[in-house]
Amino acid sequence: MAAQWVPKKTDPVDSREPIGRRLFAIPELAGAKDQKPWKDLLKIDHFKENRPPGNISLDRLGEKSVDGKVRKYLIRRAQDAGTKLTPPKDFDGWVCVRADKLAKPGKGLINFPVVASPIESVDPQAIECNPYHAHVCGPAGQTPYVIAMHLKQIFVNDGKIECVTRKDWWWKYWQYVIREFNKLLKVLGLSHVYLFIRRFLVC
């Protein structure tokens, strides 16, 4: 069995890599196949980020095509991220495009070179760890809305959807219980206990 592809921190993003933007709470993507076209479901808000310094977070989904092992690794992290949104949102998948389509999208659109920005952790299996994290930056002086508008158009022109079936309804509530349990252990000075038992609580 082939080992899971993990990019080296020093390696630049290859032009052929599939790059995904996470999509949260789009019910039609998780539903029947005869729903309206996915391109009509994308909104500017799916690409807006107001968090400083204005980097737009992305996932590297494989070396040259979407890698099943990488996808599986990232799904749990994306679902966990959805529980931390306000309000919590279901993770429905990614809209994906090749890195070169972001770097050189064509006439009239902003260029968005993809920069690798892995999120490291002492424990490589920790939910916070993401060696596949990347980002793009909008040009200085542009508003988050304008940047998001250009990104949306690039993904509409050249992208595809990588759907994810939602977990059972109880999953986000179970994640909430785990998170609150962690907070309690921190207050009690027992964080090490949480790190030990989390391996058994989260598959």
Same domain, 77 and 135: yes
Report yes or no on 10 lying in a domain.
Answer: no
Q: What residues contact 31, with CB distance under 8 A and at least 6 apart?
A: none
What per-residue confidence (pLDDT) applies to 8? 87
In the block, tokens 């979407």 appear at 66
What per-residue confidence (pLDDT) applies to 69? 93
One-letter-per-residue 3-state SS of 151-182: HHHHHHHHCEEEECCCCCCHHHHHHHHHHHHH
Same domain, 146 and 192: no
What per-residue confidence (pLDDT) applies to 187? 76
Same domain, 22 and 92: yes
Same domain, 89 and 36: yes
Same domain, 140 and 154: yes
Residue type, 152: K
Same domain, 188 and 152: no
Cβ-in-10-Å burial (0-12, 13-18, 19+) of 52 comes to exposed
Residue 189 is part of which domain span? Answer: 168-203
What are the start-end ranges of the H helices in 66-169? 68-83, 99-103, 144-158
For the chain, the domain total comes to 2
Report yes or no on 109 lying in a domain.
Answer: yes
Report yes or no on 11 lying in a domain.
Answer: no
What per-residue confidence (pLDDT) applies to 169? 44
Same domain, 105 and 177: no
What per-residue confidence (pLDDT) applies to 33? 52
Same domain, 179 and 138: no
Q: How far apart are CA 155 and CA 59, in angstroms?
A: 14
What per-residue confidence (pLDDT) applies to 172? 55
Q: How far is CA 10 from CA 6, 66, 131, 133, 145, in A?
A: 12, 21, 12, 13, 32
Report yes or no on 13 lying in a domain.
Answer: no
Same domain, 183 and 140: no
The one-digit pLDDT tens for each residue of the chain (203 residues) are 467 899 988 889 999 999 999 999 887 776 545 555 778 889 999 999 876 667 899 999 999 999 999 999 999 999 999 998 888 898 999 999 999 999 999 889 999 999 999 998 877 778 989 999 999 998 888 899 999 999 999 999 999 999 887 654 455 556 667 777 777 777 777 666 655 555 554 44
Q: H-helix or E-strand containing 116? A: strand 115-116
Q: How far apart are CA 89 and CA 91, in angstroms?
A: 6
Same domain, 139 and 162: yes
